[in-house]
Amino acid sequence: MKKIILFISLLAPLCSFGQYRFYKDSTYTQSFNFLTNTSSVNNNTYWDDPEFAIPIGFTFHMFSDTTDSIHISQEIGVGAFITMDSVLPTTAFATGIIAHGSDLVDRDTSGNGSSSPISYTLSGTAPSRIFKLEWKNAGFFNPIDNATSYDDFINLQLWLHEGSDAIEVRFGNGNYVSSNNDLYDGGPGPLVGLFDSLDFNFDSRIIYYLKDSVGAPSIDSFTSVLSLPLPPGMDGNPAAGSVYRFNPRKGPASTTGYTAVNSSVSNDINYYGDRNQLRIDIYTNDAFQYSVYDMQGQPVSAGNCSKGRTLLNTSSFAQGLYIVKLRSATEQTTFKFVR
């Protein structure tokens, strides 16, 4: 059942985009195989607008979030929207993955059991494991609710890669009887993408999504859903074996083919709490100086940085809030982090 995402706008103006400012799409095909030796998410119970917390098995990084679990949240009310944290009615904003933008639902219309199991597994060995989440035989809410068709279904997997933090959405065989207007809520096809800090007004720091043909999509980005003339999505229905991969990237937009929403940047600052690591990336030839201050305004670290990456270990810092000031001859950037 459709629900409005109950978010309140709260975007701190001093924060950077986060750990990964850019994502690059790499689409390819590979045989789709159903998962084996899985753990059940829905435990053979009917689901519609479910509420699930699912352990990943390792630490995963996405934008400014670091997590060891992902969530399918009832407050969002769409079966394959994945968030990095639990979403409550009081949640200000959410960051996550759109594995499939349609309103998915269990096909057991009796509500007594489950015809569309959701399950997960962890494969490989550290530090290169893969978390895999599967929706099997999932239905589409609109045709079922309108009683126009009970035959539509989809098989879908989400893979999260340890270490590289790459994200893959994989399509298996599907049966698409109803019109795309019903299946995709007026869009041309499935919506697959990523969102950073989506709020109640459907504004965000950035939303990446795939558009054009399902066989050869391109990646685009926007900051407000309301700025789009039509619902976003790819054109058509993905063939079995379609894999849509998002690779986190560092660097200016010009190197990744994104639209002007990400115009050129000279630097990027990120903090990884699980690693006690502050990273400063410089993309131009300008000379920069950085200073780190505690909340009393006392400097705790300072230095110079030039084109490339500067790493600062914060293990010796006392716990608390810190401010980073990065300066060059022509600009200044401020960033906050909590140790």
Q: What is the pLDDT of residues 113-163, one digit of tens each?
A: 999 999 999 999 999 999 999 999 999 999 999 989 999 999 999 999 998
Angle at 236 between CA 232 and CA 239, to 5 degrees: 125
Question: Is 11 inside any structural domain?
Answer: no
Question: Is 8 inside any structural domain?
Answer: no
Domain endpoint, select from 246, 262, 278: 262
Encode pLDDT of 26-42 as tens digits. 788 999 999 999 999 99
One domain for residues 87 and 123: yes
Domain endpoint, select from 262, 281, 299: 262
The predicted structure's pLDDT at residue 312: 92
The whole-angstrom separation of Cα 145 and Cα 3 is 15
The whole-angstrom separation of Cα 287 and Cα 330 is 10
One domain for residues 291 and 186: no
CATH of the domain at 314: 2.60.40.3080
Question: Is 309 inside any structural domain?
Answer: yes
Total domain count for the chain?
2
**Polymer length in residues for the chain:** 339
Please, which residues bridge with residue 70 across strands? Answer: 54
Angle at 99 between CA 95 and CA 105, to 5 degrees: 110
Band of pLDDT at residue 71, cut at 50, 70 and 90 = very high
Encode pLDDT of 263-309 as tens digits. 345 777 878 787 788 888 787 788 999 999 998 889 999 999 987 77
Return the H-helix or E-strand segment holding 183. helix 180-183
Identify whether the C-beta of residue 329 lies closer than 8 Å to the C-beta of residue 283: no
Cis? peptide before 127, omega within 30° of 0: yes
One domain for residues 59 and 92: yes
Q: Tell whether the model's pLDDT for residue 203 goes beyond 90.
A: no
More reliable by pLDDT, 202 or 186: 186
One domain for residues 227 and 314: no
One domain for residues 307 and 243: no
One domain for residues 234 and 304: no
More reliable by pLDDT, 89 or 136: 136
Q: Which of 30-39, 68-77, 271-280, 330-339: highest mean pLDDT? A: 30-39
The predicted structure's pLDDT at residue 31: 95
One domain for residues 148 and 291: no
One domain for residues 330 and 191: no
Question: Is 85 inside any structural domain?
Answer: yes
Instruction: Look up the domain containing 288 and give its range.
Output: 267-338
One domain for residues 74 and 141: yes
Q: Tell whether the model's pLDDT for residue 231 goes beyond 90.
A: no
Please, which residues bridge with residue 195 across strands? Answer: 96, 207
Computed over every residue of the chain, the mean pLDDT equals: 83
Band of pLDDT at residue 22, cut at 50, 70 and 90 = low
Q: What are phi and psi of 249, to 5 degrees?
A: -135, 150
Q: Tell whether the model's pLDDT for residue 185 goes beyond 90.
A: no
Question: Is 4 inside any structural domain?
Answer: no
Domain endpoint, select from 232, 262, 292: 262
One domain for residues 158 and 223: yes
Instruction: Tell me which residue of 10, 229, 196, 181 sits closest to 98, measured CA to CA.
Output: 196
State the pTM of this model.
0.70
